[in-house]
Chains A and B, each alone.
Chain A
Amino acid sequence: MTAISDLIIGIIILMGALLTVVTMIGLIRLPDTYTRSHAASKSATLGVLLILVGCLLFFWIKDGSINGQLLLGIVFVFITSPVAGHLLGRAAYYSGSPVWKGTVRDDLKDKQKKTKHV
Chain B
Amino acid sequence: MKKNDLILQTTTKVVTFIIIIFAIHLFFAGHYTPGGGFVGGLTTSAALVLLLLAFDIKTVSKVIPLDYKKVAASGLLLAILTGLGSFIFKVPFLTHTYSYFNLPLLGKTSLATVVLFDLGVYLVVVGVTMTIIQTIGESE
Contact of A86 with B18 in the complex, beta carbons under 8 Å: no
Give every chain B residue within 8 A of A86 (Cβ-Cβ).
Answer: 7
A72 to B29, CA, bound (A): 15
A76 to B116, CA, bound (A): 30
A71 to B18, CA, bound (A): 12
Q: Supply 6 further A-B pairs (C-beta < 8 A) apart from A76-B15, A117-B4.
A: A72-B18, A72-B22, A76-B18, A79-B11, A80-B15, A83-B8
Give every chain B residue within 8 A of A79 (Cβ-Cβ).
Answer: 11, 14-15, 18
Give every chain A residue within 8 A of B25 (Cβ-Cβ).
Answer: 68-69
A79 to B3, CA, bound (A): 22
Give every chain B residue within 8 A of A87 (Cβ-Cβ).
Answer: 7-8
Query: Residue A118 at the B interface, CB < 8 A?
Result: yes
Task: Encode contact with B along A93-118: 1 for CB under 8 Å, 0 otherwise.
Answer: 00000000000000000000000011
Query: Residue A75 at the B interface, CB < 8 A?
Result: yes
Q: Are A80 and B11 CB-contacts (below 8 A) given A72-B18, A72-B22, A75-B18?
A: yes
B4-36 contacts to A (CB < 8 Å): 4, 7-8, 11, 14-15, 18, 22, 25
Number of interface residues of B (CB under 8 A): 11
Majority DSSP secondary structure for residues of B touching A: helix
Query: Residue B88 at the A interface, CB < 8 A?
Result: no
Query: Residue B1 at the A interface, CB < 8 A?
Result: yes
A13 to B15, CA, bound (A): 26
Contact of B7 with A83 in the complex, beta carbons under 8 Å: yes
Majority DSSP secondary structure for residues of A touching B: helix
Q: Which residue of B lies closest to A73 (CB)?
A: B22
Shortest C-beta distance, B91 to chain A (Å), equals 36
Q: Which residue of A lies closest to B50 (CB)?
A: A80
A70 to B14, CA, bound (A): 18
Shortest C-beta distance, B105 to chain A (Å), equals 17
Q: Which residue of A lies closest to B21 (CB)?
A: A72
A76 to B18, CA, bound (A): 8
Shortest C-beta distance, A107 to chain B (Å), equals 15
What are 7 A-B contacts defined by CB distance under 8 Å? A72-B18, A76-B15, A76-B18, A79-B11, A87-B8, A118-B1, A118-B3
Contact of B11 with A83 in the complex, beta carbons under 8 Å: yes
The 7 closest A-B pairs by CB, nearest first: A83-B11, A86-B7, A76-B18, A80-B15, A79-B15, A83-B7, A72-B22
